[in-house]
Chain A
Amino acid sequence: MVVTFGTKGNFLVIDGEGYLIERAREGDREAFCMLARRFERRVYSLALFYTRNQSDAEDLSQEVWLKVYRHLQSFRGESSFYTWLRQITVNTFLNHRRSALKQVGGESQGLRLVEIESVDYEDALRLSRGRDMEDDLHRKMLVERVGEALSELTPQQRLIFMLKHSEGMTYEEISAVLNCSTGTIKKSLFRAVQKLRQHLGLKSESRSYLRCAAGGK
């Protein structure tokens, strides 16, 4: 197996990503699947927070990987592979949103994250045996509250929040990717934080969000 080498700080870094990309570009499907395995959780997470629906997120992320597979030849290595992948991901989301708006004419239907969580609630209780059950319960309630908070944002606001908070993109980068103003991004972020605070019961004075989220104990 051939790997590419690079230096990062004082350490030698073995990076097989370049090799996998080359193999995938030559039509090696196995190499592509290995490459996809590295980033699939990040892509799926973005899709899940964007759609708030597991089924839609699955479809969207599959569509993203299919696009990546088809257009891998156009990746020239000018940016990192993940940056290129993220651009395709966001474009796929936006296209999906446009087509969904045309078909339904409004908010997409389907299960909300809170409902998914409630479905998995019994499993979570079973899995939590041997652990601190109270903490687990608090965590599950926290997830519900966060899901509720996100559900009150628009898909674009959620995407902006994720791109900023989870992906670490700058205002300018998000602005370029989504073709919107910096002001819109700041407002979306402010609104996202306000919704989280509101649903988690976080007032300015409060410091213990877990207890607030768990019912204001």
Chain B
Amino acid sequence: MHDCSKTKEDLTDLVFNEMGAEDELRLLEEMEACRDCRAEYHSMREALGAFDTAAPEMIPAGEFWTHHHARMRERLVDAAGAQPRDELPFWRRPLRASFSIPVPVAVAAAILLAATSLLAIRSFILRPEVGREQANAAAEKIQYVEVPVERRVVEERVVTRTVYINRRARRGNQAAPSLQDIPGMTASRKEDASITAPQVTLSGFQPPADVKLTVIKGNLNEK
């Protein structure tokens, strides 16, 4: 069923050639059946025709374009500078060269440059203070404290003393020590000694290399 309001909505597409072939045919058929829609369509076409008639009249002619050209030339000369680009010496061309880069890349580069500069400036400003503080803190921390350290010192002493086996016997009130009590005496020697006790001598006595001699100071009679 024909709907005038819907058809009139589509007329804009029709007069501006934005309608597909099938839709255009359908709309034209509908307009054939509806006088109002047809009149609306013709009215729109006439308005556009009137514009087409009027538009060229609005555009200036003659002298205007001569002046327009002259002004354009002047501006181009100004834009190119006092010395035209193609007449520049080769060593000055790089100074006037330009190139275009995408905006995101330019923004990223600018942000990176700004951040790097900021960090560099910040570290440059803060470094002397930090160094000073660290030096003071270090000076405060370093204290020379004398701590006694125990260290084993091996004292070597050569003891030269003659031991008399029958010393106590010589004193007379004490029994003479048996050879079994003497450290470093070998078992065979001990046996020999027990057999021939009265003839005990130190001849042939050879102390082992790791003999530790404990010297006990004091009087045996104090027991």
Residues of A within 8 A of B (CB): 26-27, 29, 32-33, 36-37, 40-41, 44-45, 48-49, 54, 58, 61-62, 65-66, 69-70, 74, 113, 116-117, 139-140, 142-143, 145-147, 164-166, 170-171, 186, 189-190, 193, 196-197, 200, 202-207, 209-210, 213
Across-interface contacts of A33 in B (CB, < 8 A): 69, 72-73, 76
Across-interface contacts of A147 in B (CB, < 8 A): 54, 58
The dominant DSSP class at the B interface is helix
B192 within 8 A of A: no
Other A-B pairs beyond A62-B72, A204-B43, 16, CB < 8 Å: A37-B69, A45-B55, A48-B59, A49-B55, A62-B71, A62-B75, A66-B76, A117-B57, A140-B57, A142-B50, A197-B44, A200-B47, A202-B50, A203-B43, A205-B39, A206-B43
A128 to chain B, nearest CB (A): 12
CA of A190 to CA of B151, assembled, Å = 108
Which among B77-85, B122-130, B139-147, B177-185 touches the partner chain? B77-85
Closest-by-CB residue of A relative to B59 is A45
Q: Are B12 and A143 in contact (CB under 8 A)?
A: no
Q: Are A193 and B80 in contact (CB under 8 A)?
A: no
Q: Are B76 and A196 in contact (CB under 8 A)?
A: no
CA of A116 to CA of B16, assembled, Å = 29
Q: Are A32 and B76 in contact (CB under 8 A)?
A: yes
B18 within 8 A of A: yes
Across-interface contacts of B44 in A (CB, < 8 A): 193, 197
Which of B13, B46, B55, B58 has most chain A Cβ within 10 Å? B58
Across-interface contacts of A54 in B (CB, < 8 A): 60
A48 to chain B, nearest CB (A): 7
- Pairs A–B under 8 Å by Cβ, sample size 15: A33-B76, A40-B72, A44-B59, A45-B55, A45-B59, A62-B72, A66-B75, A142-B57, A143-B58, A146-B54, A146-B55, A170-B18, A197-B43, A204-B39, A209-B46
Across-interface contacts of A205 in B (CB, < 8 A): 39
Q: Are A202 and B16 in contact (CB under 8 A)?
A: no
A211 to chain B, nearest CB (A): 11
Closest-by-CB residue of B relative to A141 is B54
For A197, give its contact among B13, B36, B47, B60 (CB under 8 Å).
Answer: B47
CA of A61 to CA of B54, assembled, Å = 21
Q: Are A117 and B58 in contact (CB under 8 A)?
A: yes
Across-interface contacts of B100 in A (CB, < 8 A): 74
CA of A194 to CA of B36, assembled, Å = 16
B22 within 8 A of A: no
B37 to chain A, nearest CB (A): 9
Contact A202:B43 (CB < 8 A) given known A54-B60, A171-B18, A186-B12: yes
Closest-by-CB residue of A relative to B86 is A27
Contact A209:B72 (CB < 8 A) given known A165-B16, A204-B36: no
Across-interface contacts of B69 in A (CB, < 8 A): 33, 36-37, 40
Q: Are A36 and B72 in contact (CB under 8 A)?
A: yes
Across-interface contacts of B15 in A (CB, < 8 A): 193
Chain B 3-44, CB-CB to A under 8 Å as 1, else 0, gives 000000000110110100000000000000000100110111
